[in-house]
Amino acid sequence: MAAITADTGGRRFVDTVLRARELSILAALIVLVAVTTAVNSSFLSTQGVKDIFLNASILALLAVGQTMVVVTRNIDLSVGSVVGLVAFASGKFVAGHDRNVLLVLVVGMLIGAVCGLVNGVLVSFFKVPALVVTLGTLYVIQGLDYYWAHGQQINAADVPASLLDLGNGSVLGIPYLPLITVVVMVAVGYYLRAYPSGREFYAIGSNPDAARLAGIAIRKRILTAYVVSGVLAGLAGVLWLARFGTVVADAAHGWELKVVSAVVVGGVAIVGGLGSVYGAALGALLLTTIGSVLVVLKVNSFWQDAIAGALLLLAISVDRLLALRVTRALRKRNARHGA
Amino acid sequence: MTKRPLAAVALAAALAVGAAACGGTTKNSTSGDDAKGAATSGAKANPNAPLKKGLKLAFLPKQVNNPYETIVDNAGIDGAKEFGGTAKEVGPSDASASSQISYINTLIQQRMDAILVAANDPNAVCGPLKQAMSRKIKVVAYDSDASKDCRDVFINQASSEEIGRSEIKVMSDLIGGKGKIAILSATANATNQNTWIDFMKDELKKPEYSGIQLVKVAYGDDDDQKSFQQTQGLLQAYPDLKGIIAPTTVGIAAAARYIDGSKYKGKVAVSGLGTPNQMRKFVKDGTVAKFELWDPKNLGYLASYAAAALASGQITGAQGETFKAGKLGERTIGKDGEVILGPPTVFDKSNIDNYNF
């Protein structure tokens, strides 16, 4: 019992730091929106708010999947290619037919799951470094997609209205896209936080050796993380089609780095074991909002990339600083506890 | 029967000039090579030379995933069949400046009769193209020009001036000649878009457009999401915006799609350059009243015939030469070796269903 109470002290500190991290992103977001609204009042109009959430939802969805992978001390660079492949594949699937929206979603997620499975098996069973595996699948999937598409294009006129409605329609004034993202985020967030198996993802990321000694099924968890990331990328691919209507093979080209940026800015440690899907989703929201704000404030769009990069550096520096502090605090507490 | 020896002379002359033209253009060596006498006069092109059979042409688009370039190239490949030639399309999957170089080198080794290239960068492809020309391979630029001395002719989709000026005219019609407009372009350094935009700005100086104010040129980088965001931003930054001109197929689709699903539908006019298939939905539901484009099929077709005419010695790329381009009739080479396809077609509700590309 004594051990547990002492433990909560340390956990409370770590918790505060983590929550503070999410709160600080939220604060940055609020300041950003407030300043922009002060300059241009229409930024916070109904249409403006709707736009912000619509813009961020696909990136946030990918960030949620990426978080699961990153907390296990891995990375999934293939998500951009998966989105492109699924967006094109589901476009081909629906073109000229009146397919059921749910069926399209299922097909898209299945394709994503297969891609995730390949990544997961290579990383967890064959022990190939994640960076190399997913870099490889990034190009393989992209190559397949390009070979298949070969300059074809999916047009909004070919996509059934029910699917396009998913990208732009809303229920009770709330657009479907962010709604889907929030549901997925809460579900994954709850699982990672409340379920013992969810906690194991963090354990693997903080200390793989200790996790193995504790009898955690490392392979299974890593495989799960990749499949979830793949499924969400597949879902994102269908939503991409629903949102933009016009799709060529290189949809979401280069998005893997955007997603990783969102995750890191959102406070998920790139070395694993730390961070939440809420933070990652907020990071995605922040990055997208900056993009919109720069246009509204009439700032040259060349700055957009530079600012996103600077933010990333800042986030990583803060991470490092916090990690040092947390270690020091834990060590101090442990020393006291031992004495 | 007299045609045949003439053709042979023309061919021999073309070869001789081609061989002597390492590093220079065919045109320049033709005019500067007085010593060659008879041979040079023969190289002045023989408009009556028949198109050779079995010509091998290669289309090298900006990138193979671009639907527009695919339409152009396929039409060119079909056109080549008409005159008994064979054509193929090869190309990179990204549109970066250097990605076409290795393809040109391969095509040189394969001894093509002509290379048709939509240059990603006018200068980056110059070296390899010159090498091709020195190996008697004819070079036709289409869609996006290479530097003038690295190609024989350039097939221009429409005169840049005409595109720029007509964009303003279309927009002025849509908004009743009064109000604020913005331009949503591709990348900030795209040669063709920037030329068109310059002509748009020039056209706006005319007194009949005094009521129109161009407030901003935004860049969506030919990326859906970014073009979307730029459209949203423009409408927020300029609440009284009346119209958006997007002279790029990605931009116009993104702008139309955003406006279609927002409260701005029916209040903000969208126009620019797009393909009928891509824009059909938005024209039918009233988001876009009209937009423009040349027929990309004719562009590929014309390029194919120009390449055959060059390779058969009918033309050398000098100003004033003429050649027959199949169903498109006779075409004349203009200044700087440019052949212009024709005025852009305006698409609207009444005619969009006649087109499928």
pLDDT tens-digit map of A37-58? 998 888 888 888 888 898 899 9
Shortest distance, CA A237 to any CA of chain B (angstroms)? 13
Chain B: residue whose CA lies nearest to A249: B65
Residues pairing with B89 in the sheet: B59
Tell me which of A11-20, A139-148, A163-172, B292-301 is least confident: A11-20
Residue B303 has a pLDDT of: 94
Residue A247 has a pLDDT of: 85
Which residues in chain B (265-284) have CB-CB distances under 8 A to chain A? 277-278, 280-282, 284
| Cα separation, B39 vs B313, whole angstroms | 13
What phi and psi values does residue A89 have, to the nearest 5 degrees?
A: -60, -45
| ipTM for the predicted complex | 0.73
Tell me the chain B residues in contact with residue A155 when contact means C-beta distances shorter than 8 Å. 277-278, 280-281
Token readout for A299 is 């700032």
Inter-chain contact B70–A152, Cβ cutoff 8 Å? yes
| Domains in chain A: boundaries | 46-322
| Cα separation, B312 vs B52, whole angstroms | 6
Residue A186's alpha-carbon distances to A15, A26, A229, A232, B343, in angstroms, are: 18, 17, 15, 14, 55
Q: Read off the pLDDT of residues A97-142 as tens digits, 9 standing for 90 and up.
A: 888 999 999 999 999 999 999 999 999 999 899 999 999 999 999 9
Q: pLDDT-derived band of residue A144, with 50, 70 and 90 as boundaries?
A: very high
Residues lower than pLDDT 50 in chain B: 1-3, 10-42
Overall average pLDDT of the A293-313 stretch: 78
Kindly tell me if the per-residue pLDDT of A273 is higher than 70.
Answer: yes
Q: What is the DSSP string of A214-255?
A: TT--HHHHHHHHHHHHHHHHHHHHHHHHHHHS-B-TTTTTTH
Among A148, A155, A297, the strongest candidate for a mutation testing the B interface, having the largest count of B CBs within 10 A, is A155
Inter-chain contact B66–A245, Cβ cutoff 8 Å? no
Query: Of A57, A67, A107, which is closest to residue A243 (Cα–Cα)?
Result: A57
Residue B110's alpha-carbon distances to B114, B136, B298, in angstroms, are: 11, 13, 27
Query: Of B33, B142, B18, B31, which is closest to residue B79 (Cα–Cα)?
Result: B142
Token readout for A136 is 């490889």
**Interface membership of A150 toward B (CB under 8 Å):** yes
Domains and CATH numbers, chain B: 3-157+296-341 (3.40.50.2300), 160-293 (3.40.50.2300)
Q: Read off the pLDDT of residues B4-24 as tens digits, 9 standing for 90 and up.
A: 555 555 444 444 444 444 433
Chain A: residue whose CA lies nearest to B235: A296
Average pLDDT, chain A: 87
Residue B71 has a pLDDT of: 87
Residue A15 has a pLDDT of: 65
Overall average pLDDT of the A241-256 stretch: 86
Query: What's the fold here for domain A46-322?
Result: ABC transporter involved in vitamin B12 uptake, BtuC (1.10.3470)
Burial of A219 (0-12, 13-18, 19+ CB in 10 A): middle
| Cα separation, B303 vs B10, whole angstroms | 21
3-state secondary structure of B61: coil
Residue B265's alpha-carbon distances to A183, B262, B269, B338, in angstroms, are: 30, 6, 8, 40
Residue A11 has a pLDDT of: 62
Query: Of B340, B338, B337, which is closest to residue B28 (Cα–Cα)?
Result: B337
Burial of B38 (0-12, 13-18, 19+ CB in 10 A): exposed
Query: Of B57, B60, B31, which is closest to residue B44 (Cα–Cα)?
Result: B31
3-class SS string, A151-194: CCCECHHHCCHHHHHHHHCEECCEEHHHHHHHHHHHHHHHHHHH
Residues pairing with A231 in the sheet: none
Residue B225 has a pLDDT of: 81
Cβ–Cβ under 8 Å, residues A255 and A76: no
Overall average pLDDT of the A169-176 stretch: 86
